[in-house]
Structure 1
Amino acid sequence: MTHQPPVITPDVLIIGGGPAGLTAAAELAGRRAGHVLVVDREQAAGGIPRHSDHTGYGLRDLHRVMSGPAYARHLVQQATRAGAEIRTRTMVTGWADDDTVDVTSPDGRYRIRARSIVLATGARERPRAARRIPGDRPHGVYTTGQLQNLVHLHHQPVGKRAVIVGGELVSWSAAVTLREAGCTPALMVSQYPKAESYAAFNAAGRTVLRVPVATRSRVTRVIGKGRCQAVEIEHLDTGRRRTIECDTVVFTGDWIPDHELARTAGITIDEGTLGPLTDTALRTSRPGVFAAGNVLHPVDTADVAALDGKHVAQQIINHLNSERQPAEGVRLIADAPFRWVAPQILRPGDPAPARGRLLLWADEFARFPRVTVRQDGRTVTRRTLAWPAAPGRVFRVPSSVLDGVSPTGGPVHIGLH
């Protein structure tokens, strides 16, 4: 006879204990949504901020600024004080059926069957292998997450001289971590005409951290036997190559959602974000399963992910209290130079997206972007925004640009014209 693992039955299961998951848990438990259970595979909940030991967290959601570890602790305390249960070192390994997952933890194997499930699994940086950068395979090559885990959680040394690959906001976070570890960031390499991060961070990085940026460049080879010795970089316009001595290389940005659970569930994946396809209520294609945070828009700041968690909580309460099926919706499609838009479905009767913003990712820089929304061959909206669209960071567009969209029309295209 086959032994069936034990089953626990919370009202809401949240998979992932980062900012989105913990904020959703605090909101749901505080509003008496029943038994709210958060599971996280790490030793402690808190997500990426837990080992990102610099300030800048909490501005949009908490209206204050704190360090990453302090922010993570605050979110954990918020959730537990509200009455949510958090189980760490708990890995969801798969799906037993549409509303039941298989779990492995130090307590053994069991199943969790919930009335509603939230995927808040976040995103990760692509490592060197996924970027297909040739050369030797020495020690001293990291992603930002690996670097920060090594330095802030395990207090291990790194090298003395580093090259940072990427110019996103997280790239400057890597530079700060390297400095704290006694390693000099010798160069930042970006394929774009200027570093992708906000101008204020780029200016501060150059003046305070004194990190030069090689723009329109890429790493073509890692050199070193045993320990990294150098990297070769190429200028994309001239083809000229040069070698930069370093014993540490940090690959930053180039994010991808942690979408394995969504894929194994057969949940529809958006081709642009590679995360679950969702509507403005953050429903996925599987009834009762929602998603929030950077698994949907890789990658935005921790406080924006947290506000996703607050937004999805109300939608889950609505789901638990209603049998109403969502109406048919229209697809939102990102046209070049946008790579993706989130969310991707607009349904009549649904709320505006979190913070009243559509999130898009641009592959080109536009100082005063003129956003154009089209449906069925007609221009619905054309609006010039006062903030730039730029590679390497999320571009936020007021969702009011969709006000003229027909709920019974064809796909809605969002581009720049």
Structure 2
Amino acid sequence: MTQQPSLITPDVLIIGAGPAGLTAAAELASRHGGRILAVDREPAAGGIPRHSDHTGYGLRDLHRVMSGPAYARHLVRRATAAGAEIRTHTMVTGWSDDHTVDVTGPEGRYRIRPRAIVLATGARERPRTARRVPGDRPHGVYTTGQLQNLVHLHHRPVGKRAVIVGGELVSWSAAVTLREAGCTPALMISRYPKAESYGVFNVAGRAVLRVPVATRSRVTRIIGKGRCEAVEIEHLDTGRRRTVACDTVVFTGDWIPDHELARTAGITLDPGTLGPLTDTALRTSRPGVYAAGNMLHPVDTADIAALDGRHVAHQVISYLQGMREHAEGVRLLADAPFRWVAPQILRPQDPAPPRGRLLLWSDQFVRFPKVAVRQDGRVITRRSLSWPAAPGRVFRVPSSVLEGVSPSGGPVHIGLERV
């Protein structure tokens, strides 16, 4: 007879112990009590910040600034001090039913059947293979996460001269890590007319790190036998190609949610974000299963993900106390130049989304955007905003633009009005 795996039954299971998961665990343990369990497949909790050894973390959630590793340690301490249990080296391998997951960890194989689940598995950068960059297959090609893990956790050397693919905020983080490892960032490549990161980072990066940026460009080939020797890049407007010598290439940004658990559960995914479809309470399509952080909107800063964790904790507490959703809700859709909007469902009597913001991702740079919200063929809101919509970073829109939405109407389209 085959022995059945043992079963544990916490009040809440949080899958992923990064900023969103740890903040949710701390909030749930301190406000709800009961058994709050967070699991993570990594050897230590903290998520990406634990190997992102530069400052800038904690501004919005903790109202202070600290390094990534210090921020990660703080979130772990706060969660455990509140009474949450954290298990690392623990992999959720699948679902045995709608509310029970199969787990493998240091204790062996077992099952967890909580009253509620929070998916907080984050996002990852697409590697070179997913971007279909042709050429040789030499050593020295990384994502930012692989680079930072290698340098900050394993203290391993990298090359001497690097090309960074992408111009997002994380791209400048990669440049800092390369400098710390004794590797010169020789060039940053962006397909957009300007690097995607905030202007202050672009100016500081050029001035302090002295990294030139090739805009409207893409990598067409990686060259090298054994070790990377060069990349070939192409200007998207002229078609002109040139070769840049380097022994290291770092692919940055171009994020995708770690959504495998949601997908295998049959939870509805949003075709834009590729993360779970959620309402403003961060409920997924499966009752009792919530989602938070960068698996919902890849990708935002760690402190925003943490605030998602705080928001979802309050909604989970309401669920545990017997509150259920009241209506089907209205679908929110992103119109060009936006690629996606999060969250995607508006229900009557639900709370505002985290921080009272809708999050959108733009494929174009618009310096003075005028947001237009449409339902059933008419414009219900126009709102001029004083901050730009730009590729490579989240565009935040006050959720008050939805105040005129009819709960019985059709889908709501959020786009820009051309001026």
Question: 1:358 offset after TM fit, Å?
Answer: 0.3
Question: 1:323 offset after TM fit, Å?
Answer: 4.8
Query: Mapping of 1:3-152 within 5 angstroms?
Result: 3-152=3-152
Number of the residue aligned with 1:404 = 404
Question: 1:27 offset after TM fit, Å?
Answer: 0.2
Number of the residue aligned with 1:386 = 386
Superimposed CA distance per residue, residues 85-125 of structure 1 (whole angstroms, 9 cap, x where no aligned partner): 00000000000101100000111000000000000000000
In structure 2, what residue type is equivalent to 1:136? D
Query: Mapping of 1:213-362 within 5 angstroms?
Result: 213-362=213-362
- Kept in 1, the 8 Å contact 2:135–2:221? The answer is yes
- Kept in 1, the 8 Å contact 2:100–2:114? The answer is yes
- Kept in 2, the 8 Å contact 1:33–1:317? The answer is no
In structure 2, what residue type is equivalent to 1:407? P
1:10 partner SS? coil
Superimposed CA distance per residue, residues 140-170 of structure 1 (whole angstroms, 9 cap, x where no aligned partner): 0000000000000000000000000000000
- Kept in 2, the 8 Å contact 1:164–1:189? The answer is yes
Question: 1:215 offset after TM fit, Å?
Answer: 0.1
**1 CA distance for matches of 2:239 and 2:209?**
28
**2 CA distance for matches of 1:145 and 1:32?**
34
2:210 partner SS? coil
**2 CA distance for matches of 1:117 and 1:355?**
22
Q: Which runs of 5+ in 1 are unaligned?
A: none
Superimposed CA distance per residue, residues 1-33 of structure 1 (whole angstroms, 9 cap, x where no aligned partner): 232100000000000000000000000000134
2:86 partner SS? strand
Question: 1:128 offset after TM fit, Å?
Answer: 0.0
Superimposed CA distance per residue, residues 194-234 of structure 1 (whole angstroms, 9 cap, x where no aligned partner): 00000000000000000000000000000000000000000
**2 CA distance for matches of 1:262 and 1:219?**
33
2:175 is the alignment partner of 1:170: no
2:262 partner SS? helix
**2 CA distance for matches of 1:317 and 1:308?**
14
TM-score, normalised with respect to structure 1? 1.00
**2 CA distance for matches of 1:325 and 1:192?**
42
Question: 1:325 offset after TM fit, Å?
Answer: 3.7
Number of the residue aligned with 2:212 = 212
1:208 partner SS? helix
2:191 partner SS? coil
Question: 1:238 offset after TM fit, Å?
Answer: 0.2
Superimposed CA distance per residue, residues 277-300 of structure 1 (whole angstroms, 9 cap, x where no aligned partner): 000000000000000000000000
- The percentage of counterpart residues that share the same residue type is 85
Number of the residue aligned with 1:160 = 160
Superimposed CA distance per residue, residues 353-409 of structure 1 (whole angstroms, 9 cap, x where no aligned partner): 000000000000000100000000111101110000000000000000000000110
**2 CA distance for matches of 1:416 and 1:167?**
24
**2 CA distance for matches of 1:264 and 1:78?**
32
2:178 partner SS? helix
User: Structure 2 vs 1, CA of residues 113 and 254 (structure 1 numbering), >3 Å: closer, same or farther?
Assistant: same
In structure 1, what residue type is equivalent to 2:155? H
2:135 partner SS? coil
Q: Which runs of 5+ in 2 are unaligned?
A: none
Superimposed CA distance per residue, residues 233-280 of structure 1 (whole angstroms, 9 cap, x where no aligned partner): 000000000000000000000000000000000000000000000000
In structure 2, what residue type is equivalent to 1:355? R
1:14 partner SS? strand
**2 CA distance for matches of 1:346 and 1:57?**
31
Deviates more, 1:98-107 or 1:120-129: 98-107
CA RMSD of aligned residues (A): 0.6
2:109 partner SS? strand
**2 CA distance for matches of 1:197 and 1:341?**
19
In structure 1, what residue type is equivalent to 2:347? R
In structure 2, what residue type is equivalent to 1:58? G
